[in-house]
Structure 1
Amino acid sequence: MLRNTSSGALPTAFRPRGPFSSQSGDVTYVNAEAVVREFHEALARSSDMAVAVAAITALTSVIRSSSASTVMGLEKELKDAANALQRCNDTAISLKAGCDLFLRYTTRTSALELDNFAMVKKKLIERGRHFADTSKRARAAIAEQGQRFIRSGFTVLCHGYSRVALAVLRKAVAAGTQFNVIVTEGRPDETGITTARALKDSGVPTSLVLDSGVGYVMEKVDMVLVGAEAVVENGGVINKLGTYQIAIAARAHSVPLYVAAESYKFARLYPLSQRDLPLERKQIDFGPLLPPQVAVDNPSRDFTPPAYISLLFTDLGVLTPAAVSDELIQLYS
């Protein structure tokens, strides 16, 4: 199984002693509460802030405020801070992928070989900021790539609430493309209603369909556009529950399915079935008519195999599912 089974308890190395870290003898301690607080404040500053980018922002602050006096100490602080962030939600795949990529990018550099530690720290801060800035620009790059696939008169089917998918649609509107969108309801958290509201505000003709009505409307659809919680090693995606069945219906009707996803969501996971996904459930209330003896199975996400995906719109370019593994190797090498 791929689930992170780490406990929520903070080990000794996470004792709070300063803004982000403090040093006692040769041991550097990370203030987990401060790191997590910085993460939540970054999310609160903007409703468009992605979870992974908020984590990257918090980790950059750890470098800037580090009390470590050696490269090894600084690397340990970053790893401890990343672990603290992942404990916020140990099933959040994009959070873990963002932390892993940030650690790879900042610590795999020739700057670590410099004799002057102050210069090493300066270079790492620069790399951290560059990574954060690049991640923030990813959505705009994807929107530019993806909007070219939306033609005038198209009907686009969307599922769930994805900021990057919305960015693609808004970019197409800005380019003067006339199209309409069908949005699934997105139970149990009504993400489709949130998406429909955002599209209405952007002037896009939008209709809402029940999640169970996807097969019924698919014959009217020209393309499916979804986001992703994670893009995995074989080119498949993990996304909101229902994405897989939409992909099956799209393929049956020869409708292309496109995925919009930032490269910091590329995760080193290789699920072979739905059972391999980190388990996360959404609360749902069926009311008093459902007998209490009836079990409710309410996973929040599913896995769509690469065979059902036409293309992925990413900040690395427009990729086929087969190209994802090569990009993952480069990102993590």
Structure 2
Amino acid sequence: MAVPLVSVPEFGLRSTHSQAISVSATIEEEPSASQEFNVFQVYQRILENEEIATPLAAILALTELLDHSRAGTMFELVKELNGGAEVLKTRTSNSISLNAGCELFIAFVTLFPHESDSFSELKTELVKQGQQYAKEALTYRHKIAELALGFIKDDSVILTHSYSRVVIQALLLAHKQKRISVYVTEARPRGFGVKTYEILTAAGIPCAMVLDSAVAYVMDTVDFVLVGSEAVVESGGLINAVGSNQMAIIAKAANKPFYALAESYKFHRLFPLSQYDLPTHHPDILSFPKPAHRSSPALTARPSVHPSIAGHVSTATEELPTWKSGLLVKSPFQMSMTPEQISRNPSVDYTRPDLISLVFSDVGILTPEGVSQYLVGMFAG
């Protein structure tokens, strides 16, 4: 069952202030500062802090844009913020979680009631609120970890996927109080599962790396699956690192709980019906390139290994067994995946709400249906 939803989003989309500002409120006309302010550079600088997630970095970047804005009306201000959000979106390969943060902040600015006598005072208050929200949002992972702790029992065996800061924090907290063991997938092609494995192992948690293709093999031995999120969408479904969907399907078939951990600033008003409705999908994904010339009938397929965490392509060569004249012999075989081949694969996928058991968030433990209700309340004004 879902924890009762809070009626007031913590970002302050609703308030007890007496009245909302009119979109026609004005101050002295000045030229726009948005052309002088590089919102993308600010966004990149903020992301250098490992503790700040993509949507939160977008909120902070738009807060700085607001601080530098010379807009004289709410209409002009919202237009500048939408323009800044569009710049961030177009210059980011995967803009899903970024869009969630931008959407939340712009809705906050649009709906924020106030008691200010001037528009400049309102902008100052909005900047203050944005900075305060970001500071508070850094505590969300700990709140979520505490909620998840109640579902982790002694000697639990947990399967996780790729790299998620909130999942790592939940596992580290559980390790302090209980005995747990963790299976971590590689999460090819970026190989972020290796990073998770190294962090958990360094903390003394018994871990084992699992091939992405071995998830079904290991599923019967785990108690539940715990994953992070790029975004939780309006349907209650999950967008996360590619491979999450097949993991959820296998967990459902094995009757294992599939839990998602997500900060509320990752809740996104998006309603995909399939993988091909995601903003990240484009025609080249999983398309068949036209061969430049006819190739020989010899074996040309190249299985991949994960590149390093930095994203470089592995060029490792391994002696693989092959059959020759009825005997098993070894022959050199290039194990690599070209950048073009990687680009033809999705980086994220969509997991349907019926495959998700619960969503742990800073606003409570929600069913997928509860996420939909929360989003409606958040953006209702």
Q: TM-score range by the shorter chain?
A: 0.7 to 0.9
**Alpha-carbon separation, structure 1, partners of 2:159 and 2:254:** 13
**Alpha-carbon separation, structure 2, partners of 1:47 and 1:55:** 14
TM-score normalised by L of structure 2: 0.74
Which segment is superposed worse, 294-303 or 147-156? Answer: 294-303
Could you list the runs of 4 or more consecutive aligned residues of structure 1 that deviate by over 4 angstroms after TM superposition?
24-27, 280-292, 294-297
**Alpha-carbon separation, structure 2, partners of 1:250 and 1:308:** 8
The reply on whether 1:109 has 2:156 as its aligned counterpart is no
The residue type paired with residue 303 of structure 1 is Y
Corresponding residue number in structure 1 for 2:267: 266
* Residues 244-259 of structure 1: pairs in structure 2 closer than 5 A: 244-259=245-260
Larger radius of gyration: 2
**Alpha-carbon separation, structure 2, partners of 1:269 and 1:193:** 30
The reply on whether 1:61 has 2:108 as its aligned counterpart is no
1:288 shift after superposition: 5.3
Which segment is superposed worse, 64-73 or 280-289? Answer: 280-289
Which segment is superposed worse, 85-94 or 316-325? Answer: 85-94
**Alpha-carbon separation, structure 1, partners of 2:82 and 2:260:** 31
Q: Is the 8 A contact 2:186 2:192 kept in 1?
A: yes
- SS of alignment partner, residue 149 of structure 1: coil
Corresponding residue number in structure 2 for 1:123: 125
The reply on whether 1:304 has 2:308 as its aligned counterpart is no
The residue type paired with residue 98 of structure 1 is G
The residue type paired with residue 73 of structure 2 is T
* Residues 64-213 of structure 1: pairs in structure 2 closer than 5 A: 64-89=67-92, 91-111=94-114, 114-174=116-176, 176-213=177-214
**Alpha-carbon separation, structure 1, partners of 2:312 and 2:229:** 21
Q: Is the 8 A contact 1:32 1:84 kept in 2?
A: no
**Alpha-carbon separation, structure 1, partners of 2:337 and 2:34:** 48
1:131 shift after superposition: 2.4
Which segment is superposed worse, 64-73 or 252-261? Answer: 64-73
The residue type paired with residue 194 of structure 2 is I
Write out per-residue CA displacement over residues 143-191 of structure 1, whole angstroms, 9 at most, x where no aligned residue: 11112211110000001111111111112123x1110000111111111
**Alpha-carbon separation, structure 2, partners of 1:116 and 1:305:** 46
**Alpha-carbon separation, structure 2, partners of 1:134 and 1:170:** 21
Residues 88 and 137 of structure 1: CA distance in aligned 2, closer, same or farther (over 3 Å): farther
Q: Which runs of 5+ in 2 are unaligned?
A: 1-27, 286-310, 316-332
Corresponding residue number in structure 2 for 1:38: 42
**Alpha-carbon separation, structure 1, partners of 2:124 and 2:186:** 48
The residue type paired with residue 134 of structure 1 is E
RMSD over aligned Cα, in angstroms?
A: 2.6
Q: Is the 8 A contact 1:28 1:73 kept in 2?
A: no
Residues 295 and 35 of structure 1: CA distance in aligned 2, closer, same or farther (over 3 Å): closer
Corresponding residue number in structure 2 for 1:21: none
Write out per-residue CA displacement over residues 281-330 of structure 1, whole angstroms, 9 at most, x where no aligned residue: 798679857999x9775111111111111100111100001111111112
The residue type paired with residue 50 of structure 2 is S
**Alpha-carbon separation, structure 2, partners of 1:279 and 1:65:** 31
Which has the bigger relative contact order, CA under 8 A and spacing at least 6?
2
Write out per-residue CA displacement over residues 28-66 of structure 1, whole angstroms, 9 at most, x where no aligned residue: 24137621111111111x222211111111111122232
The reply on whether 1:28 has 2:32 as its aligned counterpart is yes
- SS of alignment partner, residue 169 of structure 2: helix
**Alpha-carbon separation, structure 2, partners of 1:199 and 1:291:** 28
Q: Is the 8 A contact 2:313 2:336 kept in 1?
A: no
- When the two structures are aligned, how many residues end up with a matched partner? 307
**Alpha-carbon separation, structure 1, partners of 2:122 and 2:44:** 28
Corresponding residue number in structure 2 for 1:20: none
Q: Which runs of 5+ in 1 are unaligned?
A: 1-23
**Alpha-carbon separation, structure 2, partners of 1:290 and 1:50:** 30
Q: Is the 8 A contact 1:235 1:324 kept in 2?
A: yes
**Alpha-carbon separation, structure 2, partners of 1:289 and 1:48:** 34
Q: Is the 8 A contact 2:95 2:280 kept in 1?
A: no
% identical aligned pairs: 40
Q: Is the 8 A contact 1:102 1:131 kept in 2?
A: no
The residue type paired with residue 167 of structure 2 is A
